[in-house]
Amino acid sequence: MKKISTDIIIIGAGPGGMAAALKAGEAGVKKILLVDRLPEPGGILQQCIHNGFGLHKFKKDLTGPEYADTYIKKIKNSNIEVLLQTMAIEITKDNKVILANGSDGLIEVSSKAIVLAMGCRERTRQQVSIPGTRPSGIFTAGVAQRFVNIEGFMPGKEVVVVGSGDIGMIMARRMTLEGARVHAVTELLPYPGGLTRNIVQCLNDFNIPLHLNHNVIKIYGKDRVTGVKIAKINNKGEPTDETFEISCDTLLFSVGLIPENELSRMVPLEINPITGGPFIDDTYQTKRPGVFICGNAAFVNDLADYVSCEGEIAGEAAANYVNGSLNTVTKVSVVAGENIRFVAPNFITRTDHVTLYARVTQQMRDVTVSSSGGIINIKKQIIKPSEMIEMELDSEKLKKIKELKELVIDVRPNK
Amino acid sequence: MSDRINEKKFTCIMCPLGCEVTVKSNESGQITEVLGNQCVKGEKYARDEYSHPLRVLTSTVAIEGAQFARLPVRTSGLIPKDRIFDSMKEIRKIKAKAPIKLGAKLIENILGLNVDMVATRDL
């Protein structure tokens, strides 16, 4: 087995990994190795040809490939070594990373620090347990997106989208533009899974019906999908007798994302069952010193912009770890309180600046986001599970937080 | 007849509130009232959506001699919503040849709309 050594290895060259690599380089780390299994950097951004990227980070409305390009060009002009078509297959108990590719076979990498940036995967039909036959014509929305936008294949003509995640809605528009008929988008929950702008510009613009409180309960077809049965869902989440059928040849599933953490489990890192990612502190360091994680591998974010921000923090912290200046001794736990599904990161160690992200359990109007010690107090007219709450903590707030045992974040209705 | 009122509803996307804004208009299509918005942005959004909705169009074109079959493209600016399908027809007619640089104009002044179809990546 070929053996190499480096200062920082970054696994995954999407918006998180690229940002981490660049920031580590800026912080003065000499040897940085960025690894990706695809033939080019950019990750999933390359197939996200729609606009809406970069609004948060660059105040510009970019497409996925344009957003990726800003990072790719910087990486090309840096000393970062990029190893493509290379899969990270193992992390050993002593933090060695085993890579595999077609030209070198296996490579054992000894690295002073590891940044995990594997992103996430889509939930599939199997994971949402929809009964019926198993014909062809069933895809996740992201797979269909790759077929249409990169490979140049149309997955089908008569389409039903299951789940109202952003990529499902974006693909409903994309398939319509390419000549398919999208008959419906179904959503089990009473509210949409994706952003309002996608409901307006991907569904309403093309008269595609969104059926909230509805789910596909049966798939028909032997060789190819021929149709689906859709049922109204009651307030217990169960299908009712109120049903209808739609003839279609294609189903696209957009039913959630799961952080990709096979490698993290090998470290081993304890996985938070709520987020599907490992527990992390505010430098994006995991409980194994020297192992960092960022972006959708840590927890699923709404925007690529957030992922890049996290990548920068993880990259800088990994650099500090390598040169011995990372101090994460004092830890205050961040705890999800009332109406909060998760808060990330899980521990506060920094004294300068921290951004906390929280996802709520349900849509609520006229609420206050608050914390232990009254340190956080933000009024919101509306909160939705599809849009994370961002909380900025400056040095003054962090000083107060350091006196607490834990920081509980709650969302409560006003009055 | 002359005071017949038309109503159109829009979901505002200017902020996460997502107000349902109603635009009322008279027989000649002039806006008479905008209701349901909670701020000025919502009123402007609904007026624009009523009178001249604009969108960025993103799609792909076939490309020869590249690593992948499709090259992603976008309009360099906003186009009227009702010209999206016409623009798609124009996009379908062309075939790019590698190498292409990000920002390369593939269709200049598409349909006379004063925007270009440009490549959104190097390929």
B79 & B98 share domain: yes
pLDDT, averaged per 10 consecutive residues of chain A (415 residues), comes to 97 98 97 97 98 93 97 98 98 95 97 98 89 92 98 97 95 98 96 90 97 96 97 94 98 96 96 96 96 98 96 98 90 96 96 96 94 95 91 96 95 93
CATH of the domain at B106: 3.10.530.10
Strands B95-97 and B58-64: parallel
Residue ranges of chain B whose CB lies within 8 Å of a chain A CB: 10-11, 13, 16-18, 38, 55-56, 58-60, 62, 67-70, 72-74, 81, 84-85, 88, 102, 120-122
B67 & B108 share domain: yes
Q: Is residue B88 part of a domain?
A: yes
Å from A207 to nearest chain B CA?
13
pLDDT at residue number A328: 82
Respond yes or no on whether ipTM tops 0.90. yes
Distance CA A293, CA A9 (A): 12
Whether pLDDT at B3 is above 70: no
3-state secondary structure of B68: coil
Q: Is residue B83 part of a domain?
A: yes
Å from B12 to nearest chain A CA?
8
- Print the SS3 string covering chain A: CEEEEEEEEEECCCHHHHHHHHHHHHCCCCCEEEECCCCCCCHHHHHCCCEEECCCCCCCCEEHHHHHHHHHHHHHCCCCEEECCEEEEEECCCCEEEEEECCCEEEEEEEEEEEECCCEEECCCHHHCCCECCCECEEEHHHHHHHHHHHCCCCCCEEEEECCCHHHHHHHHHHHHCCCEEEEEEECCCCCCCCHHHHHHHHHHHCCCEEECEEEEEEECCCECCEEEEEEECCCCCEEEEEEEEECCEEEECCCEEECCHHHHHCCCCECCCCCCECCECCCECCCCCEEECHHHCCCCCCHHHHHHHHHHHHHHHHHHHCCCCCCCCCEEEEECCCEEEEECCEECCCCCEEEEEEECCCEEEEEEEEHHHCCEEEEEEEECCECEEEEECHHHHHHHCCCCEEEEEEEECC
Residues of chain B with Cβ-Cβ distance to A175 below 8 Å are: none
Determine which of A177, A359, A383 to mutate to test the interface with B (most B C-beta atoms within 10 Å). A177
Å from A10 to nearest chain B CA?
24
B43 & B78 share domain: no
Determine which of B10, B45, B49, B120 to mutate to test the interface with A (most A C-beta atoms within 10 Å). B120
Q: Is residue B1 part of a domain?
A: no
B76 & B36 share domain: no
B123 DSSP 8-state letter? -
Strands A364-371 and A377-383: antiparallel
Residues of chain A with Cβ-Cβ distance to B13 below 8 Å are: 196-197, 200-201
Whole-model pTM: value is 0.94
Contact criterion met (CB < 8 Å) for A65 and B120: yes
Q: What is the pLDDT of residues B64-110, one digit of tens each?
A: 999 999 999 999 999 999 999 999 999 999 999 999 999 999 999 99
Å from A76 to nearest chain B CA?
13
B106 & B68 share domain: yes
Among the partner-chain residues B16, B120, B122, the one whose CB lies closest to the CB of A387 is: B16
B62 & B47 share domain: no
Contact criterion met (CB < 8 Å) for A197 and B59: no
B93 & B115 share domain: yes
Distance CA A170, CA A156 (A): 16
For chain B, the domain total comes to 2
Give, in order, the Cα–Cα distances in Å from A370 to each of A99, A308, A337, A387, B21: 45, 26, 10, 17, 31
B77 & B30 share domain: no
Among the partner-chain residues B18, B56, B84, the one whose CB lies closest to the CB of A196 is: B18
Q: Is residue B102 part of a domain?
A: yes
Whether pLDDT at B2 is above 80: no
Distance CA A227, CA A241 (A): 18
B113 & B67 share domain: yes
B83 & B100 share domain: yes
Tell me the count of A-B CB pairs closer than 8 A.
77
B44 & B89 share domain: no
B62 & B99 share domain: yes
Q: Is residue B82 part of a domain?
A: yes
Among the partner-chain residues A46, A49, A196, the one whose CB lies closest to the CB of B13 is: A196
Contact criterion met (CB < 8 Å) for B70 and A39: no
Parent domain of B19: 6-51
Contact criterion met (CB < 8 Å) for A63 and B74: yes
Contact criterion met (CB < 8 Å) for B70 and A150: yes
Whether pLDDT at B1 is above 80: no
Residues of chain B with Cβ-Cβ distance to A389 below 8 Å are: none
Handedness of CA A292, A298, A303, A304 (dihedral sign): positive
pLDDT at residue number A305: 96
Chain B's closest residue to A146, CA to CA, is: B70
pLDDT at residue number B16: 76
| Per-residue burial over A252-284, b = 16 or more CB atoms within 10 Å of its CB, e = otherwise | bbbbbbbbbbebbebbebeebeebbbbbbbbbb
Q: Is residue B72 part of a domain?
A: yes
Among the partner-chain residues A63, A151, A382, the one whose CB lies closest to the CB of B72 is: A63
